[in-house]
Amino acid sequence: MKVEIKECCKFKTKNPVIIEGFPGIGMIGTLSAAYLSGKMDMKLVGYVASSHFPPISAIHDYKPVSPARIYASEKHDLIVLFSEFVIPAEVVYELTQTILDYAKAKKARAIYSLAGIATQQPPTAAIHGIASTPKMSELLKKNGIELIKEGATQGVSGLLIAECASESYPAANILAETQLPMDPKAAASLLEKLSEIIGVPIDTVELRKEGNQIESKMKDAMEKIQALHQDYKRMETNPMYG
């Protein structure tokens, strides 16, 4: 089964900004995207499906939902995608193509990937960026983002920015420095910078104030998903397990 984005309800956007956050360094992408969708009271509009994904449903507020979800805000013309599990390497390329095709179908004006960047030195407040076009580079620089001249990037955001660059599609990776396995404060800094770029107010007070609680909740959810996946794999090899 190929990677598919499935919408579960109708919604209207004009030329939306698409924001994606997948698990990575500091869990900043997932933390940022999940907080954004909840804080802005976005509507659950769909999910990402693939036979390569773990056969698991997440349960939030008593409801079973896909751990790879899509939310939208018609008011702010935003679409947010994120997952609560690490995307398997064998499906990353196909997922990036699916996201780019979806952005084109929605006539998105830009795609922003939220992520963390590891540092050996104490983290600074600097936000770093990678842009797909000269125009996007200027936009990032205008908003005080330090462009990365040399290096490497990986995962969904890494492949997606390269695909967008090859097609001159407007996109950017914005990255906050971190040394932590999960970093709500860095996620808050990233969202504050995103707010400046896209011109949409994002209240990060709760993320900064209740960072430890939010971190614990997210960590617990992801650990449960990982444990369930491991249990399922053991049952596949030994049906008598458990």
Q: Encode 31-91 in three state secondary structure.
A: HHHHHHHHHCCCEEEEEEECCCCCCCCEEECCEEECCEEEEEECCCCEEEEEECCCCCHHH
β-sheet bridge partners, residue 58: 65
CA distance 33 to 22: 8
Considering the domain boundaries, does residue 83 fall inside one?
Answer: yes
Flag whether 210 is in a domain. Answer: yes
d(CA 230, CA 173): 31
Nearest C-alpha neighbor of 100 from the set 31, 167, 22: 167
Containing domain of residue 142, as a range? Answer: 4-237
- Kindly report the CATH number assigned to the domain that includes residue 145: 3.40.50.10900
| pTM for the model | 0.87
In a domain, 242, yes or no: no
- Which residue numbers in the chain have pLDDT < 70? 1, 211-219, 221-222, 225-226, 228-229, 231-242
Domain count, the chain: 1
pLDDT score recorded for residue 95:
97
- The model's pLDDT over 14-73, given as tens digits with 9 standing for 90+, comes to 999 999 999 988 889 999 999 999 999 999 999 999 999 988 888 888 999 999 999 999
**Phi, psi angles (nearest 5°) of residue 16:** -70, 160
Q: Do residues 45 and 27 make contact, with C-beta atoms less than 8 angstroms apart? A: no
Asked, for residue 216, whether it belongs to a domain, the answer is: yes
